[in-house]
Amino acid sequence: MKAITQHIPNTITCLNLFSGCLAITFAFRGYLDVAVYCIFAAAIFDFLDGFTARLLKAYSPLGLQLDSLADMVTFGVAPSVLLHVLLYRNLGASMEDLSLLVVSFIPFILAVFSGLRLAKFNIDTRQTDSFIGMPTPASTLLIASTVLAGLYNEPIARLLTNNWLIIISAIVLSFLLVSEIPMFSLKFKKQESSAAFFKKYSLQLVFLVVCIASPIIFGLFFIAAMILLYILISIVLWLVKPKKSMAANR
């Protein structure tokens, strides 16, 4: 029985990888909505594999490596392909238009920096309770949810026809992935008391409450809006914290 349970998290990780492959395939064929749904499914599997591994205490070196490889496809290559397809369409590029074709490949820098981010995460001992730099699922869900919202919302659809916005977004997200900006995690660990729990995770709990209410405010764009808020809060805390430290040292 134990031998079977040891393979459950890895099986879920494989479903993450499979969903990422489907997302890439559908995106290249022009079914961007289906590609986004595949990415959402992959994100759920990505959450469940870690949750299941902790629940069943089924940790393994194989699972760690497999998780990174799956995330590279789902949260590195797939979002790059989404942006590439959008840019390719906007430019009207073809195999004969070499200059336009090269420009449409710019979003793949996101895949490169996602690989760097994942490799860095695996060897960085500072990232046990929080993140240093933006997690790859966050950048991917930001892109995927914006693309999905653009299919049903005219103002967002117009934004997605802005080539400079797509290129700059890919560059900025690539920077955030490997930056030294601390970003809070939504993983909770048991504390000695309820008071200690609420004190340690007050920011995360407030953020989750806002997330629950956000679909009413932002509609289909709520996932992207919450990730943008997550980035903004993390940057503000990063900018404010050194100032507090300097003031304390005076």
What is the pLDDT at residue 94?
59
Write down the domain spans for the chain.
2-181
d(CA 103, CA 85): 12
CB 186 within 8 Å of CB 137? no
Q: Does domain 2-181 have CATH number 3.30.230.20?
A: no
210: number of Cβ within 10 Å: 14
Ranges of residues in the chain with a pLDDT under 50 are 244-250
Cβ 75 vs Cβ 141: under 8 Å: no
- Could you tell me the pTM of the whole model? 0.84
Residue 69 · residue 21 · CB < 8 Å: no
User: What pLDDT shows up at residue 249?
Assistant: 39
* pLDDT tens readout for residues 113-126: 999 999 888 787 77
Q: What is the largest CA-CA distance in the chain?
A: 65
- pLDDT, residue 129, reads 66
Please state, in angstroms and as integers, the Cα–Cα distance from residue 157 to each residue in 22, 33, 84, 148, following that order: 23, 13, 16, 9
Distances, alpha carbon 141 to alpha carbons 222, 249, 250, in Å: 11, 40, 42
pLDDT in tens, 138-176: 999 999 999 999 988 888 889 999 999 999 999 999 999
CB atoms within 10 A of CB 177: 25
pLDDT of residue 2: 60
- The number of angstroms, rounded, from the C-alpha of 226 to the middle of its chain's C-alpha atoms is 12
| Residue 7: CA count within 13 A, CB half-sphere | 3
DSSP states along 97-108: -HHHHHHHTGGG
- Look at residue 151 in the predicted model and tell me its pLDDT: 87
Separation of alpha carbons 22 and 8, rounded Å = 21
pLDDT of residue 244: 45
